[in-house]
A = this chain, B = another copy of it.
Amino acid sequence: MKNLLNNNIIETHNKKYFSSHKRDLDVFKNFCLKNKLNYQGIKKKILKFKIALPSWGLGTGGTRFGRFPIDGDPLNIFQKIEDCSIVNKLVGSTPSISPHFPWDKVTDYVELKEYAKSFDLNFDLVNSNTFQDQEGQKYSYKFGSLTNNDVKIRERAIELNLECIRIGKILGSKGITVWIGDGSNFPGQANFSKSLDLYLKSMKKIYEKIPKDWKLLIEHKPYEPSFYSTTINDWGTSYICAKELGPKAKCLVDLGHHLPNTNIEMIVSRLIFLKKLGGFHFNDSNYGDDDLDTGSTNPYKLFLIFLELLDDRNKKDFFNLSFMIDQSHNVTDPIESLILSADEILIAYAKALFVNKKKLQFFQNNNDPIGATLELKKAYNIDVKILLNQVRIEKGCAIDPKYLCIR
């Protein structure tokens, strides 16, 4: 994909499909009119919707069994920014990058910010990495970071987070996501309550330094890298911590961080109910934290999650949520995967917008599950491709960008 954007590739591509698109759009608008669907209102919302790209997602991912990098894997944050710009030029809804420290450390963050700006990109939430030792690191995170028994190691982990905040302020970020792998592998290894206590103590020190207009997102995960217990393991724990910390602290939902059979959309609803939903890490999974491409195995689930996000209780907050892709691109070109994933997210969002919520509520209030499910399916079965193409055209981006990915 690297060279995709030479030679006006978008223009050439769009020219080829434009007349066909225009005809399709007329049909689609007619369809909306006939079915009393608010084409303009929905388009406006999609135009406004933004998804952040993860800096670590630009390189080839892997498992503990190995990694198979492709040629052209970006070597540093500057190259990652260039790759992000390719995605965003095609897709148009991914104008920001979420950096990870110390992985993305540079000497001059003002320069970094300017570099991103030169590609019309800005910085989304910063991420702190305390689940891994860096070369020459004096204190090890082997037995925990923010919850480590050793106050020196906890302080080091806190300091890394504070550094992230300082960097983030320079970069123009508006928040930080904290995920820790702290936990245990053996029954008896850790005292759960003590760990949680230490976590809260450490997080309070971080919270103190969160700027007024920032948010602090807590990301939970049931297991991996710890395989018996994990300190921040579920939404309940995430919530009580966010509650304890204060109004700037919220919960982040990663779609792959749940036990088998979890009703994720209900967790989304709970956090909205509690006014503690802060954002998302989008991906898909079949078994655990597989970090597969968003929407690649269960697109209906993604649609249901967006449906929850459109609940009246979330109206004011929807556009304040942080939406981010978090995937491990083990067997694909990361740029291609990110283009497809952004598209899948927009598809789910658009379809959810087409649900007639008044009618849905009518069926809910009248205990009519068949009516309710039909209302959902009606919206879900709408082919929203044309609408998304129109959004991209209006943003100067590509018609059907994903088809540019096929060799």
- Report which A residues bind B (CB closer than 8 A): 27, 62-66, 68, 131-133, 140-143, 149, 181, 184-194, 196, 222-225, 227-229, 233-237, 239-240, 259-263, 265-266, 269-270, 272-274, 285-288, 290-293, 296-301, 304, 307-308, 311, 313, 328, 330-333, 336-337, 340, 360-361, 363-376, 380-383, 385, 402-403, 405-407
Q: What is the CA–CA distance of A193 and B234 in the complex, to the nearest angstrom?
A: 19
Contact B286 A288 (CB under 8 A): no
Q: What is the CA–CA distance of A405 and B378 in the complex, to the nearest angstrom?
A: 14
Q: What is the CA–CA distance of A263 and B143 in the complex, to the nearest angstrom?
A: 19
Q: What is the CA–CA distance of A364 and B363 in the complex, to the nearest angstrom?
A: 44
Q: What is the CA–CA distance of A168 and B288 in the complex, to the nearest angstrom?
A: 36
List, in ascending order, chain B residues with CB within 8 A of A333's CB: 370
Contact B233 A236 (CB under 8 A): no
Contact B263 A260 (CB under 8 A): no
16 A-B interface contacts by CB (under 8 A): A66-B132, A68-B133, A142-B331, A185-B330, A186-B369, A189-B369, A190-B364, A192-B269, A193-B272, A239-B240, A260-B260, A287-B288, A298-B301, A299-B300, A300-B300, A340-B370
* Nearest-CB residue, chain B, relative to A240: B274
- Kindly list 18 other residue pairs between chains A and B, CB separation below 8 angstroms, not including A188-B360, A190-B364: A27-B27, A66-B131, A149-B366, A185-B292, A186-B331, A188-B307, A223-B287, A225-B330, A227-B292, A229-B263, A240-B270, A240-B274, A263-B286, A298-B298, A298-B301, A332-B369, A382-B383, A383-B383
Contact B402 A374 (CB under 8 A): yes
Copies in the complex: 4
Contact A228 B188 (CB under 8 A): no
Q: What is the CA–CA distance of A290 and B330 in the complex, to the nearest angstrom?
A: 20
Given A298-B300, A369-B186, A374-B403, A261 and B240 touching (CB < 8 A)?
no
Q: What is the CA–CA distance of A46 and B353 in the complex, to the nearest angstrom?
A: 32
List, in ascending order, chain B residues with CB within 8 A of A131's CB: 65-66
* The residue from B141, B186, B188 contacting A68, defined by CB atoms under 8 A apart: B141
Contact A196 B273 (CB under 8 A): yes
Q: What is the CA–CA distance of A235 and B68 in the complex, to the nearest angstrom?
A: 28
List, in ascending order, chain B residues with CB within 8 A of A376's CB: 187-188
Q: What is the CA–CA distance of A373 and B336 in the complex, to the nearest angstrom?
A: 12
Shortest distance between the CB of A240 and any CB in chain B (Å): 7
Q: What is the CA–CA distance of A261 and B233 in the complex, to the nearest angstrom?
A: 12
Contact B273 A364 (CB under 8 A): no
Contact A373 B222 (CB under 8 A): no
Given A370-B332, A403-B374, A229 and B298 touching (CB < 8 A)?
no
Shortest distance between the CB of A166 and any CB in chain B (Å): 24
* Nearest-CB residue, chain B, relative to A330: B185
List, in ascending order, chain B residues with CB within 8 A of A196's CB: 270, 273
Q: What is the CA–CA distance of A299 and B313 in the complex, to the nearest angstrom?
A: 28
* Nearest-CB residue, chain B, relative to A66: B132
Shortest distance between the CB of A193 and any CB in chain B (Å): 5
List, in ascending order, chain B residues with CB within 8 A of A292's CB: 185-186, 227-228
Given A62-B64, A260-B261, A266-B233, A287 and B192 touching (CB < 8 A)?
no
Which 7 residue pairs spanning A and B have beta carbons closest together?
A236-B236, A68-B142, A66-B132, A227-B290, A188-B372, A192-B269, A260-B260
